[in-house]
Copies of this chain bind each other. A is one copy, B any other.
Amino acid sequence: MASIPYKIFLSENEIPKQWLNLRAAMKNKPAPMLDPETKQPVTFEQLQRVFCDELARQELNETDLYIDIPEGIIDFYKMFRPSPTIRAYNLERELGTPAHIYYKYEGANTSGSHKLNSAVAQVYYAKEQGITSLTTETGAGQWGTALAMASAFYGVDLTVYMVKGSAMQKPHRKEVIRTFGAEVIPSPSMTTEVGRRINEKFPNTTGSLGCAISEAVEKATTTENCRYVLGSVMNHVLLHQSIIGLEAKAALQKYGVYPDIVIGCAGGGSNLGGLIAPFAVDKINGTHNPEFLAVEPSSCPSLTRGSFVYDYGDTGHMTPLIKMYTLGSEYIPASSHAGGLRYHGMNSVVSQLYDDGLMKATSYKQTEVFDAATTFAKVEGILPAPESSHAIRAAMDEALRCKETGEEKVILFGLTGTGYFDMPAYEQVNNGTMTDYVPTDDEIKKSIESLPKF
């Protein structure tokens, strides 16, 4: 076996030709989305009012394990994929661990994260269907950037509702999105009915992904030939993100390596679900038995402290009901620097796997996360996004446990993005002024109790 290089690159021809639909392999399928009026499973026809047709089809597809990636999407993928799978030799040395640490690095494209994997697919399908404009929400701004890049490339108009807190923290991120030709509106805004309602109810809110989703959906459903696209939570997004796991598995396979534990940060769940997809299929089929670990912020702990119930996907209650781990759709997470993880719920596939005991979850405070981020940057030479740094923190802790036990575990984690637009957060670290927020049990209980009962 050849010695393992720092960066394992697949060739352009090794870009997967099919996405992996994890649901098709699950014995216990996630519960269907429900229409809030009828309490019946949502139909293709209902979804297609909001999403373009192919995405609606993919959203409901729980039978095909593999779904072909169109040539027009692969052509865009070639501009930034395959992404490297990196052996963290320097981090291992820094920690003095016998563990072997690998990370799949999705940050080396201009959008700065894995979000581009799904953005390309979603804009491609919209364009094919003759859709002329799209709306979306963005938290940390990574999804908005990715979608702006894809929209510029395929020639589709784009309006981005950006969580107000992130828009204030990251004015430069906003300019990147504008540079690619999209319009950026801080959310909650006064441009939609739901935005005006939320602003009235919570006058000083810094917004949330849930609010921004409501605004984008309203705009899409009230504008001609317009559709809504979403960067996480949905099953079709998880499907597109399976390319992360597929490439990582193929890269490791070249050197006869298989992970003992796969770690990913979890906001809406798409990166985590995509990373673990092929390994989870192996686990379900019984060919391997890797562990999976979801890492969330203590300020927004949907898996570790939420409830597994039917809830709305958005704060404005415009979406179908999703059976998921949730803190309650009206829960507005405290402002934190991991804007991409400030979502009240969790993708239904990830939720189901977690509820079935196929996945573990843990949470960290942001000061703990940034400690890990800074160490990682210094030894691995990559400045990580706050979101991704949750996975780094957990991987480091796992490696330190191996140091105590002497285990040579193979750890794989997802490094979803870079922190170039998170410097105000790092500035707080540099100045020693970063603080933490952990919701009380009462706050969470109250938020869950306010949920509609189904």
Contacts and interface: CB of A to CB of B under 8 A. Distances in A.
Interface stretch (A1-9, A275-283, A294-302, A406-414): A1-9
Contacts of A153: 90, 378-379, 381
Contacts of A176: 383, 420, 423, 426
Interface string A360-400: 00000000000000100111111100000000000000000
A153 B76 CA distance: 35
A110 interface: yes
Contacts of A382: 110
A109 B418 CA distance: 10
B175 A426 contact: yes
A12 B85 CA distance: 13
B175 A427 contact: yes
Contacts of A374: 179
B175 A423 contact: yes
Contacts of A318: none
A180 B380 contact: no
Contacts of A175: 423-424, 426-427, 430
A423 B141 CA distance: 14
A418 B110 CA distance: 8
B79 A6 contact: yes
A126 B106 CA distance: 33
A379 B420 CA distance: 22
A32 interface: no
A418 B11 CA distance: 24
Interface in A405-454: 418, 420-421, 423-424, 426-427, 429-430
Nearest to A383: B110
Name the interface size band of chain A. 35 or more
B172 A80 contact: no
Contacts of A420: 112, 172, 176, 420-421
- Which of A109, A176, A421 gathers the greatest number of chain B CB atoms within 10 Å? A176
Nearest to A13: B5
Contacts of A78: 5-7
Nearest to A381: B79
A178 interface: yes
Nearest to A150: B381
Contacts of A423: 171-173, 175-176, 179
A271 B171 CA distance: 31
Nearest to A173: B423
A173 B383 CA distance: 12
Nearest to A149: B381
B377 A180 contact: yes
A314 to B, nearest CB: 29
A30 interface: no
Nearest to A78: B6
Nearest to A172: B423
Contacts of A173: 423
A42 interface: no
A353 interface: no
A65 interface: no
A152 B109 contact: no
A80 to B, nearest CB: 6
Contacts of A381: 76, 79-80, 109-110, 149, 153
- Which of A6, A79, A176, A179 gathers the greatest number of chain B CB atoms within 10 Å? A179
Contacts of A421: 172, 420
A26 interface: no
Interface in A139-183: 149, 152-153, 171-173, 175-176, 178-181
26 contacts: A5-B78, A6-B12, A6-B78, A6-B79, A7-B78, A9-B9, A9-B11, A76-B381, A80-B381, A110-B377, A149-B378, A152-B378, A153-B379, A153-B381, A171-B423, A172-B172, A172-B420, A175-B427, A175-B430, A176-B383, A176-B420, A179-B383, A179-B426, A179-B430, A181-B378, A420-B421
Query: Which 4 interchain pairs have the tightest Cβ spacing?
Result: A172-B423, A420-B420, A152-B378, A5-B12
Given A178-B426, A179-B426, A179-B430, 9 more contacts: A5-B11, A6-B12, A76-B381, A79-B90, A79-B380, A80-B381, A172-B424, A176-B426, A179-B429
